[in-house]
Amino acid sequence: MAKDTFQKMKPILANRNISMTTKIRVIKTYVGSVLLYGSGCWTMNKEIEKKLEAVEMWFIRKLMRISWTDKESNGVVLKEANLERSIIKTIRQKQLQFLGHISRRKDLEHLAVTGKIEGKRSRGRQRITFIESLKSWAISKGSNNNFMRLTENRFEWKDMIANVCSRQGT
C-alpha cells in the first residue's frame, strides 16, 4: 500500500522544480504514514526489519533516480542523498510511547502486553513478546534494566525514549 501511495505521488516526486528536502518530507508524511500505520503494536523481528529497511531504500533510490542495476551500495546512496536510515528508530519510538501509555493505565491492555494472563502456553519455541522485543532493543542501545519501572514516571520514560532513539545505529 505504501508503494502504491508513493506511485500516486509520482507527479510531485518527479518534478525537478521541487527540492529534495521537500520531496523527502512528502514521503515521510504521506507515504510513511501509510507504511507505519499500526506499527506501535507490532512485534518486530529481523525479517520484518529487513523488509522495512528495503522499502525505505527503495523510496530513496526512486527519489534519487538510482536504479538497482547501477550497482550502487546502500551506503553510497544514503551518503549521496545526505540521509540516514530512520524507519526502525521511528517504529521503536512509537512502540516505546505506546508501551508507556499502556503501562500507566493498568487496564486489560496492560495485562495482555505484560503477558500476565493465566493459561497454558503452546508447545515449541515461544514467540518473542512485544516487551521482550522492545527491551532487547533498548538495552542494546544503552538503556538500563529497570525497563518496566521507568514507565510509571512519564517524564523519566520520555527522557529514556529520547536518549535511546537519539543514539546512532538502528
Identify the pLDDT of residue 170: 46
Q: Give the residue-averaged pLDDT of 136-148.
A: 67
Last residue in a domain, options 85, 100, 130 = 85
The interaxial angle of helices 46-64 and 74-81, nearest 10 deg, is 50
Q: Are residues 108 and 143 located together in one domain of the fold?
A: yes
Residue-wise DSSP of 88-131: HHHHHHHHHHHHHHHHHHTSHHHHHHHT---SPPPSSSPPPPHH
* Distance in angstroms between the alpha carbons of the first and the last residue of the chain: 24
- 47 plus 74 within the same structural domain: yes
Q: How confident is the model at residue 51 (pLDDT cuts 50, 70, 90)?
A: very high
Same domain, 8 and 45: yes
Question: Are residues 74 and 107 both part of a single domain?
Answer: no
Same domain, 23 and 75: yes
**pTM of the entire structure?**
0.75
Q: pLDDT for 54-87, tens place per residue?
A: 988 888 888 888 887 888 888 888 888 888 888 8
The count of structural domains within the chain is: 2
pLDDT at 67: 82
Q: Which residue has the higher pLDDT, 38 or 51?
A: 51
Please, which pLDDT band fits residue 168 given cuts at 50, 70 and 90? Answer: low
Same structural domain, 124 and 53: no
Mean pLDDT, rounded, for 12-32: 84
pLDDT digits (tens, 9 = 90+) for 100-140: 888 777 777 776 676 666 777 778 887 777 777 777 777 66
CA 111 to chain centre: 24
The mean pLDDT value of the chain amounts to: 80
